[in-house]
Amino acid sequence: MKIVGIQPSPRGKHSNTLKLLNAALDGASEAGAEVESIDVAKLKIKYCTACDSCHETGVCTIKDDYEVVLKKFLTADGIVLSSLN
């Protein structure tokens, strides 16, 4: 089983959001899951321009880190989303 966690906080290792995500992923790991944490604050992800290309072709025309994150989400058995206030 593969669990992917995503955290958006720009505070990095000092983030309470990251601490909570790590606690959840540690529990999943102890239960035997393969876990991965994604820090989206460190990625280059641009805004959607609503060009509809993805609906027509199945591929986003914006070249950024989104495709990497999407592939990890699609191959995961579970996703843990952490959030800021």
* β-pair type (34-39, 78-81): unpaired
Q: Are 25 and 35 in contact (CB under 8 A)?
A: yes
Q: Residue 13: what pLDDT?
A: 85
36 beta partners = 4
Q: Which two tokens stand for residue 51?
A: 């060009």
pLDDT tens digit sequence for 14-45: 899 999 999 999 999 999 999 999 999 899 99
Instruction: List the beta bridge partners of residue 7.
Output: 39
Which pLDDT score is estimated for 29?
Answer: 98
Task: Tell me: pLDDT of 58 over 90.
Answer: no
State residue 84's pLDDT score. 76
Q: At residue 38, what are phi and psi to the nearest 5 degrees? A: -115, 125
